[in-house]
Structures are given as C-alpha cells and as structure tokens.
Structure 1
C-alpha cells in the first residue's frame, strides 16, 4: 500500500469519527416543552385507579418517563407558591411568592400576590402581572434562548397558576375570570390569542353553566375501594344560575380541567405551537384535583376518584393531539403536582371524632387584651391572615417597645389557647430554629410579607376565620378541619433522551426546573441553586 493510499484511508477514518461524534453530541432539540402542574395530585389515588386509567394519560408518563413519587416541598405551600417553586427552582424566600394572597400592612387588606395596578385586565376587571415573581422561570429561559422566535403560552383555571406558568417573557397567560367566567389575560402579555377571544364570544362559559352537570364518568360499581353505600347512589352536581358561587363551584370541579384542555388544544391546533423550526416552544398547563368542597356528603371519595379518571382522559386526549401535531418523540413533558391541602371536610358527628373550633376573631381579641395588660392600651393586633397574626408595628415603635419581645410574649400567650398546637415568631423562623423542619420553613417564608406569628392548629380543629369578612373563594367554607399531611407530591419527566426510571427516595422539588433546563440545553432559571438530577439516558 503506497503512501497516498494510506493517507486517503486515514483521512476517511478521521472524517467518519468526526461525523459520528458530531451527531452524538448534537441531537435534535425538542420542538415542544409541555409543563403541567396539577394542584393536589395524590400518588396513592393514582395507584388505586391503575386498572381504570387509560394507556395514554398518567400511565404513559409512568411507563415511559422518569417517576418521582415524592417531590419534597419541605413544608406545605399553597398552589401559587408551589407552582412558582416548580417553574423557577427557587424557594419562596428567593422567588418572592409565598402564597396566592398576601397581607398589605399599609392598607390592612389581603391582596392577590400577582395583583398589579400598573396593568389592565384583558376580558377581566382584575389586573395581574408577574411583577411579584423576582426570578426567571424555565419558560423565560427557553424564550431567551430562542431570541424570542419561539412561543410560550400558559393556561390554568386561576390567574396565580397561569402567571407563574407563563413567567415574564411569555406571549400570553390565560385563565378563567372568577366573576364572569371569561377566559382572561393581562395587558402585561402582548398576545391575546384570537382563538381565546373567539371562545369568549361564541361559547362563553357563563351561558353554558346552566346546562352542565357533573355525574360519574364510569358505572359507580367500577370505582375501586368504595363501600356499598357510596357506590349505590351516583352523585350529581349542577351549577345553576341561582347559586352566586356557581363559578367557584365549577372551578373546584374536574370539569374545569376539560375546559383548560380545550383551550390548550386550540393553541396547538390553531397557533401551531410546537411547529417553529429550530426552537423549543412552551405550553404550560395548570389543572386541579383538589377535593370538591360543595357537595352535601362529607365523604366525597366518589367525586375524588371520578376527578382522577376525568383528568386522565383529558391528558390522554391532549397527548394524542401533541403526538399528531408535533410528535411525542420531539416533545418533553413535565408533570408536577402541589402538596395536598392540610384540611378536609369534617366527619359526621356520629363517628365521635374529637372536634373543636379556633375563632380567629376571639384569638385576636384575647391576644390584644393580654398585650394591653402588659404594654398599655392600644390596638396591638392588626390582622389575621392565612395562619398568621400581624402585629401593629407602628404602635409598637411609637411606644419604643422591643418588637422581638412583644412577639415572644404574644407567642407564649397564643400557645396556651385551646386548639393551638404550636406558635412560631418570625424571628425564630428566619433564624432557622422553628418547627420540625426549620430550614425548609425558613426558605419557604417570604420575610417581606410574612406575619409576626405563625400558628399551627391542632388536628381536628376548624379554623373559623370570623376576623376576615373577605376571603378567597372556598377558603372559609364551614366544616373544613385541619388534617396533617405530608409536604410531598409526585412528579414525572418524559423526554426522548431519558430512559424510563423511578427515583426511590424523596427529591427536592427545586431540582425539577434545572433538570428540565439541562434536558433542553438552556440556562437554569436564575434563582435555581440546587443541582439538576443525574438521570439515566436511553
């Protein structure tokens, strides 16, 4: 073999190796990221219903994705705070979003965390923006990485969920207005899809509610784990015009998930989400599986099981649309859930379960009397909101009192009240010495909007919030008692590059955002400080 021939062979081999290496290092980018957050999903309930689930919904994620049975939030977070944690990879102390509503010390009123008078509502009188969200989201980073050539849409039943899922740079965040039933948005986002405006005009929810009813999707005998008395008489829930809270009732039912899926499907079909070349479009969706609060029977297991079956069918249809229009082999799907609320319907008196009431007005009044006995006359208690008492900082400063000492006195007094388990001062929380999980409680507390005293109620007690006359829908329904619950929830990641696998130990929920960013090969959100998961590839 002469020198020239050997040289040609060497060049050919080098070129082949370079080509293979280049191909292995540069797989095709995902065309679509679908981020789903389900409020209140229970993994045990999914296991119970495994035989009733379709092949293309939850089971698709379980069989083809990364299964995280326990995504750990550290402490309970409501849906707004939990969603922001999922999409940013940052705890509330960093993201700035600690709850759906916050207490404004200046006006002594509770306001939505995303309320923003600087913008105008679109198909709503309420004005919201992501200004309270202090860090970027995965959707923001995907938008930046594309140079603005991709599209980002978020759809959810409520504004807090939609805005967290949309982030700052999205084309639109879309939700159901709680007063009119319209699909609404904010002028902060520059693109109100025509398909959504058309739906408001031609098929408004408010005009259809009278004709909608919620009945079991399956034969009652086909729901597993139900005693005979619950499977014998099928439930039926309607949303009549005579009920002033009918929109709240509908939003608490699984039928709202079908409405959300319909809008998401419209975006895929009509706006070609997932079809922009060379970039990753983002479609984020919020669903709810919170227990139905408006039924007559405290034992709502039939409704809860039906809600899971219905959401599974909605996911199956959504994934089928994505596969047809985009291709699941070109799509990354992430489904996370928020912790279940630590309360539930009170059991019937015949079961003799210990029960008590904690009146927020009575507690505030007694606390104020106690502090006046020590420090002199005055209104020392400004408000109670979301498990927290707010003291009058202005009065305490005028009296030249030590705020920490006043808090400690107040905490000691409240701890002795019937129905109170534990009380923590904000000083102890921020110092990381409060609760069973002090570090988690610290990072899940937004100090700028936190109350002075956090009160844990004894299990079985009902919080009678008679201090506040204006509360969020469904937050102060009678008969809702405190129940301890873990601050974990399942999550799934399905991507073409990942092998199916199950993570057998609790995973910090803050790892989800940087893990998704790594899969998409984009930057992690700027508030994400936890390393991404190391996952097995295909």
Structure 2
C-alpha cells in the first residue's frame, strides 16, 4: 500500500469478547490468590488492578451489568381519567389478565403528577413528549381563535384532507418530537407506529409527526377516520367502514352494569337497586359523540388495535414496532343523573376485560408478552357536568362567561371610551382586543390589571389574575392557577379566572352538556410499566408525568423526545 501503511485485518468482535472474558477471569483469580499471601508484592498488585480495569472497559455492557432486553413491540396505552384507587377497589372483581396482570407483573406508579388539571389531549402530549404545554404547544384540545372569536381544534390544519371525514387535522402544532417520532428515527423508518383512539386530537398526538397512521371515530358519521398527513392507513379501516360500519351496529349496543345488582362495593343501597341503562339510538343526533365517551367504546378500540397487530404482523419483524392505544374511564357526562358512580366502576370492569383481551392476543398471536414492553398511563379525571341536588344545600351558583364578558366590556368603555375592548372568553380565560388597544395607544398591561380587578369582584369568582401574574406566581399547592410550565403563552388569554368550588360554569343555558361544576381536585393519575426482565414493584412517591417518556425511551435504547429535560426513572 502507498506510503508503507500497515494493513490491519478485520477484527472478529466475538473472539475478542470471548478472549477478553477469559483474560478477565484469569487476572481476577490471580489477584485473589495474591491477596491471600501474607505480604503481597505491591507492584504486582498495582499491575493486576490496572489490567482488570482495562479489560472491564473493553467488555460489552452486557458482560458488566444485566439490563432489560430490547423488546420487539411497544404498546403504549393512555387511559383518560385513570384512578388507581378504583382499580384497587375493584381488584377482587377483575380478571387475572388485565389490571391484575399489570399490578402483579409491572412497575406501578400510584401518583403521576401533571402540576395542574389538564384535559386529555394536553395530558397525552405531556406523556408522549416528556415536555409541559409551555414547551410542547398543546395546552388544551381546543384553543381560542381571536380572529373568528370562536374555539378551534388545537391541531386544525386546513392544508390537509380527511380520510372518511371532513375534519382536517395534523400534528404541526405539536412543537417537539414524541416517543413515536424517536422510535421511527431510531429504526430509520422501518419500525411501524400506529395510533388508535376515539378522539382525533389524542390519536394524532400519540402518532406524532412521523407515525404511519392515526385513526379515530368521527362525531358526524361514526366512521373510523384519519388524515392525509398520514400516508399508511391500514386497509382494515376501509374494510371495517364498508363491511361493518359502526352506524349499522350502534343501535344494538347497550351499556348496562357488568356485575349483578348489589355487587358493586361501597355504594349506597339505592344505587345498587336503581342502576343505569344507556343506549345509542339512531334517532339521536349526538349518538356518536355520546358513544365515544362511554365505556363500550373501549371494546371497539381494542378490536381495531388488534386488527392492526395481526394484519401488519407488528412485533414479528426485526425493527421495533409501536402500537398506541387510547381508552377512557372518565365520568360519563351524558348521564341524566349527577351521581354516576356505578357507570364509573363499570367502566373499569369493562376496560379490564379489554386489557386482558389485548394482552392475551399479543401473547398468542403477536410477538409474545416476553418480547413486548407495555406502558400504561392515565390522565387526570374531569369535573362532573351536573351540580349536586339543591336539597343538600351545598353553596354554589351559576357563573355565566357571557354575562361576565358583557359587564367587563361596559366597565372598560367607562374607563377608556367606546370600543369593543374584549374579544371573548374561553376555558376560564378572558381575551382582550389587543388590536384595538394598540390602535388607541393604550397600555395593554394596565387594561389587563383593570380587567382582573373588575372580574375579581364578581360573584362566583375566587381569583382573577393577569397572564403575567399567573406565569410569575409560585407553584404553591393552594394556588388555583396552573404553573407556568402548563401555560402556552401563544394561545393563552390576557386574564385567567378561577371560579369558586361548587359553582356551575354555564357556557350555554339551553344545553346540559355545556356545563361543568367547579371542584378542586388533584391533577394526578397512575401509570404502569411492564417489561421483560423488570421486577414488579410499587412506587408511591409522586412522580412527574414528564418522566414517563424518558423512562420508556431508556428501556427502548432510543433518544428521549427533544423537549424532555427530566431524567428517566431507572427501573
């Protein structure tokens, strides 16, 4: 070779590894023998220790420490409204293959904290990105559009076209990468990622920017739908919509208690006698929307997910595949009764059977549970849609955002002259007309303070602060406002209000669904991680929800999402 370079033959790494292990063992035995001598030569000891360190440095990691095997399939499950106490309460009634399998075989996190209440979409974004809304850009399922003065989906993208729907969504508003994205990058696009959810926003967040497909149920037709942003929608969706459409089956679906009357523990006797019976008749225009929030929808999600698993042979190829599934056990807001405890407990019973069916099929027709990593995480429970009966005399009232905006407009006109100073209200936030304020040369911060001071004196309002004050506020446990990390400054309003506990926020006086009852609650849920070679245990200490993504990424040997800044839990 030119220049007299020496040609180095290829190195057989397995031979080096074998020889290295043998040399390591020989040197270690020699070192132990030397230690047994009454007066060991110091120089020999130093040489042996140095040799041991050198050999250890070149050995593969598997020779030095036992780490979990990399799975062939990853199943990520997000359960809306998951409460670990309900799982423990019903444990004797649950199957051995669902929640009990997770409790017996996996790591249980009993307290996953989100910092402040988030809706299902925002909480899912935290789980998938390892970043808070201030970083990932998803503070809620819907955001207020000041130009149209209405709420719009946070993932709205009119540049896309819907498959089996007229909805136009994409993940472009998601500012960071997700677990799904990092897996796709790690496998050079060979690993598949498919997401299944009743809800469009949640499904797209789970699939991320680089996923193969995201599918959901439409409110209008009940069809399984997707977006043209994703180009690899499995053909089983088309077959399901044509051969077994949900619209043709929904009339036959009835939601009634799974257990016999009186079997649900810790319920008053009248709730055991007078239970519930929900149907989804074709005569009701909102039947698909109601079905998507009910317990029976979880069975439909499971069936579609298993169709993907079997048809695509997920987990049976060399690259790691990912299946993302979304379930719900949120309180059923379409119930005619304020007390929906029986429906809630029944939701857990039914979901347990769906989980058992999912896990059993992975084990028998998929790669096997011994080659699968399953992570399950819940989102915080939502508030009820109905207030307690008047006979209980619980303090409360009705807070009308429309009336609050009208009164605030009058107050600001008295201070700054005629003008439409307030754009609107959405999700406990007041949006000022910033364009008018700029045109009139007024101080935005001053008008924000005036508005907060005025709103604070309204009946039913506990606190009102400007957006700047909310961001600067300390994250105390008693604070009614979200911590700064859970506020997306690009979509936030100018004034944030906190409605008093027990008060009903009435968005539409003629609709029971557009009502929520304010109630203080913890912004936490639970999580499970079940992975080969990881022992079962329970972690009761509070764990930030942002660590779920880095923890799963570490088990997969991939990078954490690029917005994740917290260290993983080392299981």
TM range (shorter): over 0.9
Q: Could you tell me how far apart the structure 2 residues matched to 1:135 and 1:352 are? A: 48
Cα distance per residue 1:332-373 (max 9 Å; x no partner): 111111111134421122222222000111100111111111
CA 1:136–1:400: 2 relative to 1, 3 Å: same
Q: Is the 8 A contact 1:344 1:482 kept in 2?
A: no
What's 2:371 paired with? 330
CA 1:78–1:439: 2 relative to 1, 3 Å: closer
What's 2:520 paired with? 484
What's 1:185 paired with? 226
Q: Could you tell me how far apart the structure 2 residues matched to 1:52 and 1:307 are? A: 13
CA 1:432–1:353: 2 relative to 1, 3 Å: closer
Q: How does 1:452-467 map to 2 (within 5 A)?
A: 452-466=494-508
What's 2:82 paired with? 41
Matched, 1:404 2:404: no
Q: Could you tell me how far apart the structure 2 residues matched to 1:254 and 1:511 are? A: 29
Q: How does 1:273-284 map to 2 (within 5 A)?
A: 273-277=314-318, 279-284=319-324
Matched, 1:14 2:34: no
CA 1:259–1:16: 2 relative to 1, 3 Å: farther
Q: Post-superposition shift, 1:399? A: 1.4
Cα distance per residue 1:191-216 (max 9 Å; x no partner): 11111110001111111111211111
Q: Could you tell me how far apart the structure 2 residues matched to 1:23 and 1:124 are? A: 54
1:135 aligned to which of 142, 155, 176? 176
Q: Could you tell me how far apart the structure 2 residues matched to 1:356 and 1:289 are? A: 28
1:195 aligned to which of 224, 230, 236? 236
2:120 aligned to which of 79, 91, 101? 79
Q: How does 1:172-321 map to 2 (within 5 A)?
A: 172-277=213-318, 279-321=319-361
Q: Is the 8 A contact 1:66 1:503 kept in 2?
A: yes
What's 2:532 paired with? 496
Q: How does 1:143-162 map to 2 (within 5 A)?
A: 143-162=184-203
| 1:345 match: secondary structure | coil
Cα distance per residue 1:108-136 (max 9 Å; x no partner): 22110111011110111001100000101
| 2:131 match: secondary structure | coil
Q: Could you tell me how far apart the structure 1 residues matched to 2:254 and 2:20 are? A: 72
What's 2:546 paired with? 510
Q: Post-superposition shift, 1:10? A: 8.0
Q: Could you tell me how far apart the structure 2 residues matched to 1:10 and 1:353 are? A: 77
Matched, 1:369 2:410: yes
CA 1:386–1:21: 2 relative to 1, 3 Å: closer
Q: Could you tell me how far apart the structure 2 residues matched to 1:529 and 1:74 are? A: 16
Q: Could you tell me how far apart the structure 2 residues matched to 1:159 and 1:427 are? A: 32
* Higher Cα radius of gyration: 2
Q: Is the 8 A contact 1:360 1:466 kept in 2?
A: no
What's 1:3 paired with? none
Task: Give the number of equivalent residue pairs.
Answer: 520
Q: Could you tell me how far apart the structure 2 residues matched to 1:20 and 1:508 are? A: 29
Q: Is the 8 A contact 1:424 1:434 kept in 2?
A: no
Cα distance per residue 1:242-284 (max 9 Å; x no partner): 111111111111011110000001111111111111x210000
Q: Could you tell me how far apart the structure 2 residues matched to 1:352 and 1:512 are? A: 42
Moved more, 430-439 or 69-78: 430-439
CA 1:12–1:524: 2 relative to 1, 3 Å: closer
Q: Is the 8 A contact 1:85 1:92 kept in 2?
A: yes
TM-score of the aligned structures, taking structure 2 as reference length:
0.87
> Any unmatched runs of 5+ in structure 1?
1-8
Q: Could you tell me how far apart the structure 2 residues matched to 1:52 and 1:291 are? A: 20
Q: Post-superposition shift, 1:178? A: 1.1
CA 1:197–1:10: 2 relative to 1, 3 Å: closer
| 2:568 match: secondary structure | coil
What's 1:4 paired with? none
CA RMSD of aligned residues (A): 2.1
1:341 aligned to which of 382, 386, 397? 382
What's 2:12 paired with? none
Q: Post-superposition shift, 1:433? A: 4.8
Q: Could you tell me how far apart the structure 2 residues matched to 1:268 and 1:431 are? A: 47
CA 1:226–1:372: 2 relative to 1, 3 Å: same
CA 1:459–1:84: 2 relative to 1, 3 Å: same
Q: Could you tell me how far apart the structure 1 residues matched to 2:312 and 2:171 are? A: 24
Q: Is the 8 A contact 1:383 1:390 kept in 2?
A: yes
Q: Post-superposition shift, 1:430? A: 2.8
| 1:222 match: secondary structure | coil
Q: Is the 8 A contact 1:341 1:485 kept in 2?
A: no
> Any unmatched runs of 5+ in structure 2?
1-17, 27-58
Cα distance per residue 1:400-452 (max 9 Å; x no partner): 11101100010011011000011121111233458745996211011011011
What's 1:354 paired with? 395
Q: Is the 8 A contact 1:432 1:438 kept in 2?
A: no
Cα distance per residue 1:59-90 (max 9 Å; x no partner): 11111111111111001111111000000000
